[in-house]
Structure 1
Amino acid sequence: MRFNFFSRNSAPTVNHEGAPAFTLTPQVELYAAVATAALSDQFYEHADTRLQRLRELVAKNEPVFVAQLAVYARESLNLRTVPLVLCVELAQLHRGDSLVSRLVARVVQRPDEITELLAFYALANARSGNKVLNRLSKQLQKGLALSFNRFDGYQLAKYDRDGAVRLRDALFLVHPNAKDAAQQALFDQLVRGELPTPYTWETELSAVGQGSYATDADRQTAVRQTWETLITSGKLGYMALLRNLRNILEANVSAATMERVCDTLADRFAVARSKQLPFRFLAAYREVKALPSGHVAAVLAALETAIAHSAVNLRGFGPDTRVVVACDVSSSMQKAISPRSKVLLYDVSLVLGMLLQSRCQNVITGMFGDTWKRISMARGPVLRNVEEFYRREGEVGYSTNGHLVIKDLRERREVVDKVMLFTDVQLWNSTGDGGTLAREWAEYRRTVAPSARLYLFDLAGHGTVPLEVRPETGVALIAGWSDRVFDVLSALDNGGSALSEIEKIDL
């Protein structure tokens, strides 16, 4: 079965701002909702509303597509929670084969995802306490049993955490058959609470924090030495390193250790293995740039190198391809992607926009709010360019007049090949002149550039678009926060659909 990305039956509706919009096919709407799901409150939509919409969309789609999308979200977009939601919702609706068990076994890649899936299963079935241990879907149970068999003692101990469901509870519920005597011994240790304490940066620093010291200087020395040991041992994972740069710099580790930190950050193989979402590099960049350490400059340079490596497979455009990269800096974009994050949708827009800009040789960049403003940037320093945009965002105001990007091109009679809008897609006209993106785009293609293509990079997944998405209009929708969105762009340019990457997944 081929899931055609382009919606030929778009129905007129309105978006969250009351502006004219079009609906999406169930497949595309589910794809966009999943690719942008942090399952936390957004500017236009509360987390429980998004969750309910996901449930309704799962019911409207073919089970195989839902399963392929769950795998895509976990393995390509590196999302953790929403694939588990799709597994549980699919288990509610689909019976008669092993699709759900195979999906669960593939999506669950860490032991804590077993307990998270069970906790959501309890929530989805309105159960509490030990009631989650009753009437578990047989296919979920089988898939989780297969997952248990993949984890070693270190992994089980590392992720055996307090919560509504513990790994011990999950073991009793799932009843996995140990693959050998050694694994059975691990399961027995888990039941008794006797798994050895794992060597992790959290446990090592916790032990230091609980120690007794004669002076604060002695405590600081112990913290510094612990960080140096963690870093030189290679036991500090890439994400942990990225998230702890401030702590490492403030611990005043040695110059040799900082050199090791920078080398690891900038190592292209380490970047590839880490599968970091691009905005993680921006978050780290901001955490350290104002610190007084003399090593900050080297760390910032390493982060620039790292994010460049993250986009190394991004298919750019040469001098013959004229590209416009326009970033939405409106008020609705200035919403954190999750409760614990300082990263805004606005930041995601700028990071993805500047990643693309770094790969284009003939490019116009700018931002839109009340107005549209072109801003010339050097090609290359992605994070520094993002910060420059961030510093200047007040220059265009906070409405969502995306149609002005196209109006500017039309009035200049400027021919371009591709227009990239990074936005939450809730476009509306605050000028009162009645202009819309749909109208401006149709007129631009009719009078200036008939073969131009418009790509809407949807960063919020609210379920509507400001103009019809189909080949005849030259419009495509791409959703998500990962650099993998550019794989979709490549698929579109090669005659595929935006769901081509999902269709490739073999279950």
Structure 2
Amino acid sequence: MVRLNKIVRALTFEGAKAKRFTPEMALKRALMNCLLWENQFYEDGVAIAERIKLLVPQVEPSRVAALAIEAREAMKLRHAPLLVAREMARHEKHRVLVADTLARVIQRPDGMTELLAIYWADALGPMQQRKRQPVSAQVKKGLARAVTKFDAYQLAKYDRDGAVRIRDVLFLVHAKPKDADQEKVWKQLVDGELASPDTWEVSLSSGKDKRATFERLIGENRLGGLALLRNLRLMQKAEVPHGTIAGAIEAMRTDRILPYRFITAARYAPDFEPELESAMLKSIKGYARLPGRARLLIDVSGSMFYPLSAQSEMTRAEAACGLAILAREVCDEVEIFTFSNEVVKIPPRRGFALRDKIVGSQPHNGTYLGKATSEIDRKGDRLIVFTDEQSHDTVPDPKGRGYMVNVASYQHGVGYDAWTRVHGFSEAVIAWIAASEQTKH
């Protein structure tokens, strides 16, 4: 006889007892660390995307929209918010918020084409041969508002070959240009007459001297922060002067760059660690401090050292180290520990020196978060854990203020009830902790 009312227990991938979250919390967990459709250590990207699709209609519409905007603006994720907006368009109660949501989450021209690619992805067969289903009115309104945000340079930069082009968006939504100049730009786009943008990709592929090209791009401030980090090794190979590169790092904008990217850049260009460290810490200036005592606990188990996704060079350990470095800067009194099979206390160093101590503190084996928490937690302290929330053992409630900072998208996690849950690997999670404590006083 089959028991229809049997209890199905929620467990982490490593076997610890977990909790089944509310749909809203489950959506937030899946969304805030999601590199869409890219495989992670325990789950493949398709499973995570399908979970997002199932959760959207279960969550109150305004909360879904808010989560999509938070994922784009605070966590700096591009693709997952578009999937959420597309799923909102399927459901009557959510549909009315789609235009406003798209207008916020589309911040680059290719966001429009990627949204349509997602929208039409349900049909079978190659994208070029798929029957494109009619696009909802709310999606059209959102795209029409988004397309007016971009100038000629941005449109030319992101007008790439593909199944969906930016001109397809213009034909689809019949947007009204803001003025005569924008109308002229759109006509040039449709006619294929927009001037090729002077981007670093175009310049470097032109066959010109790479050193001279990099020096020109830096001098004209045409190399964005992320492009600068990605090209450090190539610039060194091209023998761009050290001082030129160092000056570019010092002058770069850091507001759209996630902390772990500096750590990854330093892995490939260690000569620039001092400048990269300074740039990484720049964004924390002005953050509210965390008064009193704090203990940081960083997960260094094996799963943390696999890439963020199958297509990424960066690891969750690098994401956790970046957040730990920032947290160390805002805590008045701090003690720092790592955990895997054991719990190890390390010196509260700063910047990349702290990263080195975290990574080298112990072998990267199992995940005994419950044991580590029990050993180091103290009444009256603030405990901040950076982890992918997979554990072999049960995690007890914190004795003081406890924050579980989750840097993965897995369905089940550990540490709930009395723990305050924070999701994401943007520096925004540290700012959120500081702001939330301020509002409670």
TM-score using structure 2 length: 0.91
TM-score using structure 1 length: 0.80
For the pair 1:31 / 2:28, whether they are aligned, the reply is yes
Secondary structure of 2:55's match?
Answer: helix
**Residue in 1 that maps onto 2:3:** none
**Residue in 2 that maps onto 1:271:** 254
**Residue in 2 that maps onto 1:466:** 414
Residue of 36, 44, 47 corresponding to 1:46: 44
Secondary structure of 1:337's match?
Answer: coil
Query: Are 2:404 and 2:422, in contact at CA under 8 Å, matched by a contact in 1?
Result: yes
AA matched with 2:47: T
**Residue in 2 that maps onto 1:143:** 142
Query: Are 2:12 and 2:412, in contact at CA under 8 Å, matched by a contact in 1?
Result: yes
Distance 2:169 2:107 in 1: 15
Residue by residue over 1:182-207, the C-alpha shift from the partner in whole angstroms, topping out at 9 and shown as x without a partner, is 32322222222221101111111111
Residue of 115, 118, 122 corresponding to 1:117: 115
Distance 1:47 1:234 in 2: 36
Query: Are 1:105 and 1:144, in contact at CA under 8 Å, matched by a contact in 2?
Result: yes
Residue of 220, 225, 250 corresponding to 1:233: 220
Distance 1:35 1:85 in 2: 13
Secondary structure of 1:13's match?
Answer: coil
Secondary structure of 1:364's match?
Answer: strand
Distance 2:77 2:362 in 1: 29
Distance 2:246 2:13 in 1: 49
Distance 1:52 1:139 in 2: 23
For the pair 1:102 / 2:60, whether they are aligned, the reply is no
Cα 1:58–1:130 shift into 2, 3 Å? same
For the pair 1:314 / 2:287, whether they are aligned, the reply is yes
**Residue in 1 that maps onto 2:78:** 80
Residue of 309, 328, 333 corresponding to 1:357: 328
Query: Are 2:334 and 2:348, in contact at CA under 8 Å, matched by a contact in 1?
Result: no
Cα 1:194–1:65 shift into 2, 3 Å? same
AA matched with 1:280: R
Cα 1:487–1:240 shift into 2, 3 Å? same
Cα 1:362–1:256 shift into 2, 3 Å? closer
AA matched with 2:432: V
Secondary structure of 2:178's match?
Answer: coil
Distance 2:415 2:267 in 1: 36
Query: Are 1:278 and 1:310, in contact at CA under 8 Å, matched by a contact in 2?
Result: no
Cα 1:309–1:354 shift into 2, 3 Å? same
AA matched with 2:413: V
**Residue in 2 that maps onto 1:154:** 153
Identity of aligned residues (%): 34
Cα 1:132–1:315 shift into 2, 3 Å? farther
Distance 1:339 1:313 in 2: 35
User: 1:56 Cα shift?
Assistant: 1.1
**Residue in 2 that maps onto 1:193:** 192
Larger mean CA deviation between 161-170 and 42-51 belongs to 161-170
Residue by residue over 1:75-94, the C-alpha shift from the partner in whole angstroms, topping out at 9 and shown as x without a partner, is 12111111111110101113
User: 1:131 Cα shift?
Assistant: 4.3
User: 1:107 Cα shift?
Assistant: 1.4
Query: Are 1:316 and 1:356, in contact at CA under 8 Å, matched by a contact in 2?
Result: no
User: 1:259 Cα shift?
Assistant: 4.7
User: 1:139 Cα shift?
Assistant: 0.8
Cα 1:392–1:178 shift into 2, 3 Å? same
User: 1:97 Cα shift?
Assistant: 6.9
Distance 2:131 2:186 in 1: 21
User: 1:164 Cα shift?
Assistant: 2.4
For the pair 1:385 / 2:385, whether they are aligned, the reply is no
Secondary structure of 2:171's match?
Answer: helix
**Residue in 2 that maps onto 1:171:** 170
Residue by residue over 1:221-242, the C-alpha shift from the partner in whole angstroms, topping out at 9 and shown as x without a partner, is x221111111111111122112
For the pair 1:437 / 2:395, whether they are aligned, the reply is yes
User: 1:95 Cα shift?
Assistant: 5.5
Residue by residue over 1:59-112, the C-alpha shift from the partner in whole angstroms, topping out at 9 and shown as x without a partner, is 110111111111111112111111111110101113597421121122111111
Cα 1:460–1:173 shift into 2, 3 Å? same
Larger mean CA deviation between 11-20 and 171-180 belongs to 11-20
Larger mean CA deviation between 16-25 and 66-75 belongs to 16-25
| Structure 2: segments with no counterpart, 5+ residues | 1-7
Secondary structure of 1:271's match?
Answer: coil
AA matched with 2:373: I
For the pair 1:66 / 2:47, whether they are aligned, the reply is no
Secondary structure of 1:421's match?
Answer: strand
Distance 2:376 2:201 in 1: 53
**Residue in 2 that maps onto 1:493:** 437
Secondary structure of 2:120's match?
Answer: helix
Query: Are 1:325 and 1:364, in contact at CA under 8 Å, matched by a contact in 2?
Result: yes
Compute the RMSD of aligned alpha carbons.
2.2
Query: Are 1:336 and 1:344, in contact at CA under 8 Å, matched by a contact in 2?
Result: yes
* Higher alpha-carbon Rg: 1
